[in-house]
Each structure stands twice: as structure tokens, then as C-alpha cells.
């Protein structure tokens, strides 16, 4: 734990907060720890919608079931 803290330029108590899931730890500290552990490449996957099935389901649930385009009140359409 001391080695990871040193390589991540943070303290052991901050690492303990990360392990406990403390939401007060900044994303920069997480990035430093991931770098120290050789896992930084996975950081880009966090915000990828393809990896968020719950977010996709919530987004789909908020969409209307049927879309009705608005009709313009302008000139009649040629057709």
C-alpha cells in the first residue's frame, strides 16, 4: 500500500478512502492510482456508454413510445 501511495503521489489514508468507495476522492487521484497499478488504460472505459447497460436502459425508458412530427402551417406540400 505504501508503494502504490508513493507512486500515485497520494497518502495511504486516501488509498483507504478509495478502497472504501469514498465519493470525496477526486478523479485525478483515481487516475494516479490506476497509473501506479498499470491499469490506466481502463479509465477510458468508465464513461463509455457501451459499458453502461443500466444507463442505456434508463435512457431508453425516457424516450417517447411514438414520435409524431409537427406539421407546418405554411404552404401546402407538392406531391
Distance CA 40, CA 35 (A): 5
The neighbour count for residue 29, using CB atoms within 10 Å, is 18
Residue 76 binned pLDDT confidence (cut-offs 50, 70, 90): low
Phi-psi region of 14 (alpha: psi -120 to 50; beta: other; left: phi over 0): alpha
In this predicted model, what pLDDT tens digit does every residue of 7-43 receive, in sequence order? 999 999 999 999 999 999 999 999 999 999 999 987 8
Determine the Cα–Cα distance for residues 77 and 14; give it in Å rounded to an integer: 66
CB 11 within 8 A of CB 33: no
| pTM greater than 0.95 (yes/no) | no
Q: Domain segments of the chain: what residues?
A: 1-42
Instruction: Give the three cell numbers for residue 76.
Output: 401546402
Amino acid at each position: 500500500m505504501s508503494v502504490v501511495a508513493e507512486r500515485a503521489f497520494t497518502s495511504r489514508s486516501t488509498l483507504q478512502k478509495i478502497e472504501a468507495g469514498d465519493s470525496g476522492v477526486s478523479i485525478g487521484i483515481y487516475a494516479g492510482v490506476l497509473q501506479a497499478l498499470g491499469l490506466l488504460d481502463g479509465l477510458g472505459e468508465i464513461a463509455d456508454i457501451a459499458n453502461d447497460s443500466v444507463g442505456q436502459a434508463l435512457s431508453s425508458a425516457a424516450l417517447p413510445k411514438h414520435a409524431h412530427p409537427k406539421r407546418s402551417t405554411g404552404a401546402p406540400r407538392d406531391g
